[in-house]
């Protein structure tokens, strides 16, 4: 599942980062697929040129994103949707900022390290609320940057697109409760008295029918034996059929 989540999250991030660029107002300098020259040097462990950045292949960029961003922000362990939101935040504004922002939102020590405590806390809160909070904090930070007038419109569009994507991922991962699970997980509350039970009354009707047949009924000139046999047989049968039906339907909770 984590592999599919990473691939889809990466595709969205790269769609905003685009191909090669070297904008004079971009502090990252020469960049391709969002991978700056400095990041590429760190990844390869050697100096790289502008031409090296231009020649960067998407497969290598994906490997860089997984190792230097996705794994460091706990992408394989965070809840669906939250992982993508934190990942794109980290790519756009730095791993430390994205990690600490998440930690502050979910109420753990903001040390910038996504470890077991952070993951456990993230899994214990509503993913949609965390995603929305991440978007608000992210936009708040971007709006304070001096270069916001230059890149602000694109950043706003990106943050909102990531938020919608992350919310969809979270909704798709939310477990659905089936009717069978409800029956299994919701015990019957026997709050009714015995006299209010349809099962008890059905059994009483059947018992009364049998008793009436046993003692006989005064039917006057009517062929008592034939009529009583017919009526009481129907009543008796209906009573026991109703008892069975009510018992089967009693699998749902008694209101």
pLDDT, averaged in runs of 10, over the chain (255 residues):
78 93 79 93 95 96 97 95 97 96 97 96 97 97 93 94 97 64 45 46 53 55 49 54 52 41
Tell me the pTM.
0.66
Backbone angles phi, psi at 108, to 5 degrees: -115, 170
CA distances for 167 relative to 84, 131, 172, angstroms: 10, 7, 9
Query: Please, what's the b/e burial string for 6-39 (b: 16 or more CB within 10 A of its CB; e: otherwise)?
Result: beebbebbbebbeeeeeeeeeeeebbbbbbbbeb
Q: Which two tokens stand for residue 191?
A: 């709050």
Q: Which two tokens stand for residue 195?
A: 């006299």
Q: What is the pLDDT of residue 182?
A: 42
Q: What is the pLDDT of residue 251?
A: 44
Token pair 């400095």 in the structure block, residue = 38
Tell me the Cα Rg of the chain: 34
DSSP state of 194: G
HSE toward the beta carbon, residue 216, CA cutoff 13 A? 6
Q: What is the pLDDT of residue 27?
A: 74
Contacts of 81 (CB under 8 A, 6+ apart): 127, 128, 131, 166, 167, 168, 169, 170, 171, 173
Contacts of 210 (CB under 8 A, 6+ apart): 232, 236
Token pair 């940057």 in the structure block, residue = 145
Dist. CA 116–CA 99, nearest whole Å: 13
Dist. CA 65–CA 72, nearest whole Å: 10
Percent of residues in the chain assigned helix, strand, coil, to nearest 5: 65, 0, 30
Q: What is the pLDDT of residue 43?
A: 96
């Amino acid at each position: 599942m984590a592999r599919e989540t990473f691939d889809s999250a990466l595709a969205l991030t790269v769609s905003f980062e685009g191909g090669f660029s070297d904008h004079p107002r971009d502090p990252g300098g020469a960049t391709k697929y969002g991978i700056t020259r400095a990041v590429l040097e760190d990844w390869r462990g050697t100096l790289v040129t502008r031409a090296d950045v231009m020649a960067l292949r998407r497969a290598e960029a994906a490997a860089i994103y997984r190792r230097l961003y996705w794994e460091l922000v706990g992408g394989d362990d965070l809840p669906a949707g939250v992982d993508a939101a934190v990942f794109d935040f980290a790519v756009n504004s730095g791993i430390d900022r994205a990690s600490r922002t998440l930690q502050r939102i979910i109420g753990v020590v903001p040390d910038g390290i996504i470890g077991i405590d952070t993951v456990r806390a993230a899994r214990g809160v509503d993913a949609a609320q965390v995603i929305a909070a991440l978007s608000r904090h992210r936009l708040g930070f971007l709006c304070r940057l001096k270069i916001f007038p230059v890149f602000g419109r694109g950043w706003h569009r990106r943050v909102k697109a990531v938020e919608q994507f992350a919310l969809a991922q979270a909704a798709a991962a939310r477990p659905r409760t089936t009717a069978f699970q409800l029956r299994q997980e919701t015990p019957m509350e026997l709050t009714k008295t015995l006299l209010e039970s349809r099962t008890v009354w059905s059994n009483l009707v059947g018992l009364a029918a049998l008793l009436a047949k046993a003692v006989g009924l005064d039917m006057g000139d009517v062929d008592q034996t034939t009529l009583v046999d017919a009526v009481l047989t129907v009543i008796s049968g209906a009573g026991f059929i109703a008892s069975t039906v009510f018992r089967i339907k009693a699998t749902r909770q008694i209101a």
